[in-house]
Structure 1
Amino acid sequence: MKDYEKQLYEKVGSNIGWDFNEIFKRVKTIDKKWNFLEIVKNHLKKKTILLDIGTGGGEKLLQIAKFVEKAYGIDISKGMITTAKKNLVKSNLSNVEFKLADANKLPFPKNYFDIITCKHAPFSTKELFRVLKPNGIFITQQVGERDKQNIKDIFERGQCFEEKDNTSMNKYIQKLKQFKFKIIKKEIYNATQYFHNMKDIIFLLKNTPIIPHFDIEKDKKFLEEFEKKYKTKKGIKTNSNRYLIISKKSA
């Protein structure tokens, strides 16, 4: 994670956690192939011990914690963990613990977890192998290189702007195989999205690293050009590019 992204992530963590429901409940998404939480839920059992890497404000983990025996959420951001702990108090759940921790040095013993999840955050394959039980499952969803491509094209910069398609997915798969993980499933989608208005687009850009160093005043001409070109009757058109990897640690 770049220094700019760390600073942004810390600021967002203190303000809203990683909760974008307020805008995404108004977004129309077409051809989205899966729901990450539903996929995770299909792998859970009452005795499952679960770790969520890059848990943000814990919003998603708290939705599924009732299906497992114990759930841990870690994040590198103090702001995110502070928000997660506040959300935990509101939830009244007693089987969840949030820790400030780096995915490259997980504060857990060997062979401890049945399932590890990671959504839109970096992870260490070496550490996954260490803390997962034999036959343990790792499920990750990550942002693809072509995400919000028309926005990045207008701004002429952006996250993974000059990288080839599937670069990060192929890199992660290669690393997982090096540690003898079996790839159970890999899938990609590139869904069309319609945002309700430019206000929601601006909120997204201010609170994510899609456009590095986004500045509403300095980038005003790009925003105006984007709105003019992609405003439709359905909303402001863009795309969501995601990939999914489900893998199993060797016995």
Structure 2
Amino acid sequence: MDYEQLISEALEAPLAGWDFAPLLGRVVEDPLPWDYKRLLLSRLPHAASLLDLGTGGGEFLSGLGPLPPRTAATEGYPPNLPLARRRLEPLGIEVTAVGGDDVLPFPDNSFALVASRHESYDPSEIRRVLTSDGLFITQQVGGQNLDEVNQALGAPPPLAPRDWDLARAGAALAEAGLTVTWSQEAQVRTMFHDVGALVLFLRIVAWQVPDFDVDRYARRLRVLHEQMERGGVLTAHAHRFILLAAPNDRMAHHSQVR
């Protein structure tokens, strides 16, 4: 496929929630050394309530089950809210909008399990809404995520703080009154196989290259396209970390990962 066609298709593709299906086989990420979904699923049977932060269009949450009797979700990106509500409300899941301050519109001690996959959070708010025997599980995108993409385009760094990593996240949670009971961090290879996939990815993950525009980066994109046409790939490294944290008064047996 030629450059213009790849770019055109990438720009015309509809964006809905966090749907990465069109990138299957075109953006290939090596597996992480942990399985966020498995870790979360293993804890659902023991939780009376669940809060999913940054649910997107509800794609991930709707695929879990059975869910706790009370399950709620938040979403901060306005276009995703109607998508999430259409998908989740028929399942009995309330979907609530949140603002950029990450203040959660729920009473104290509301949830036994709070989950955040790639969503920002306020540690003090997590501690506030968790029950005394609750658990917080989060997988985060680190501050050095896919640096090679920005370098290949000659673009400024992503919006996330460069020092956003496991150590910083753990320290902030400790300050809020939570103890990290298990954690891991990794950088895994991510390969972009065509320039259209790269453009579509940057439309979905808009904070990776904050000023992205195909005209602004046309020269670099064409160079990448020519390299990919000759069988090359753009290889970058995804920076991820995961942690489980519990209120300081939680019983010690919850520190084991099952």
Question: TM-score over 0.5 for the alignment?
Answer: yes
Gaps of 5+ in 1: 1-13
Correspondent of 2:184 among 187, 193, 198: 187
Correspondent of 1:213 among 191, 211, 214: 211
Q: Which residue of 1 aligns with 2:221?
A: 223
Cα deviation, residue 75, structure 1: 1.3
Summarize the alignment of residues 31-180 of structure 1 with structure 2, pairs less than 5 Å apart: 31-45=31-45, 47-88=47-88, 92-94=90-92, 96-102=93-99, 104-154=102-152, 155-159=154-158, 163-164=162-163, 167-180=164-177
2:26·2:194 contact (CA, 8 Å) conserved in 1?
no
Q: How many Å separate the matches in 2 of 1:188 and 1:168?
A: 8
Q: Please list the CA deviations of residues 103-151 of structure 1 after superposition, one character each: whole Å capped at 9, or x if unmatched.
A: 6321111111011011112111111111100121111111112221211
Cα deviation, residue 239, structure 1: 2.3
Cα deviation, residue 72, structure 1: 0.7
Q: How many Å separate the matches in 2 of 1:219 and 1:176?
A: 39
Q: Please list the CA deviations of residues 28-52 of structure 1 after superposition, one character each: whole Å capped at 9, or x if unmatched.
A: 3225212322221111116530001
Q: 1:54 to 1:149 in 2, by over 3 A?
A: same
Q: CA RMSD in A?
A: 2.5
Q: How many Å separate the matches in 1 of 2:26 and 2:215?
A: 25
Q: 1:58 to 1:181 in 2, by over 3 A?
A: same
Gaps of 5+ in 2: 1-13, 250-258
Q: Which residue of 2 aligns with 1:18?
A: 18
Q: How many Å separate the matches in 2 of 1:41 and 1:233?
A: 39
SS at 2:81 equivalent: helix
Q: Which residue of 1 aligns with 2:10?
A: none
Q: How many Å separate the matches in 1 of 2:160 and 2:112?
A: 36
Cα deviation, residue 81, structure 1: 1.1
Q: How many Å separate the matches in 2 of 1:138 and 1:16?
A: 27
Q: Please list the CA deviations of residues 6-34 of structure 1 after superposition, one character each: whole Å capped at 9, or x if unmatched.
A: xxxxxxxx941122122145433225212
Q: How many Å separate the matches in 2 of 1:74 and 1:130?
A: 16
Give the length in aligned residue pairs. Answer: 233
2:15·2:204 contact (CA, 8 Å) conserved in 1?
no
Q: Which residue of 2 aligns with 1:5?
A: none
1:46·1:69 contact (CA, 8 Å) conserved in 2?
no
Cα deviation, residue 74, structure 1: 0.5
Q: How many Å separate the matches in 2 of 1:93 and 1:244?
A: 28
Correspondent of 1:244 among 239, 242, 245: 242
Q: How many Å separate the matches in 1 of 2:67 and 2:32?
A: 25
1:46·1:67 contact (CA, 8 Å) conserved in 2?
no
Q: Write the letter of the residue equivalent to 1:55.
A: T
Cα deviation, residue 178, structure 1: 1.1
Cα deviation, residue 192, structure 1: 1.0
Give the TM-score normalised by the residue count of structure 2: 0.80
2:195·2:224 contact (CA, 8 Å) conserved in 1?
no
The alignment-based identity, stated in percent, is 21
Q: How many Å separate the matches in 2 of 1:249 and 1:230?
A: 49
Cα deviation, residue 219, structure 1: 0.6
Q: How many Å separate the matches in 2 of 1:232 and 1:188?
A: 34
Q: Write the letter of the residue equivalent to 2:158.
A: Q
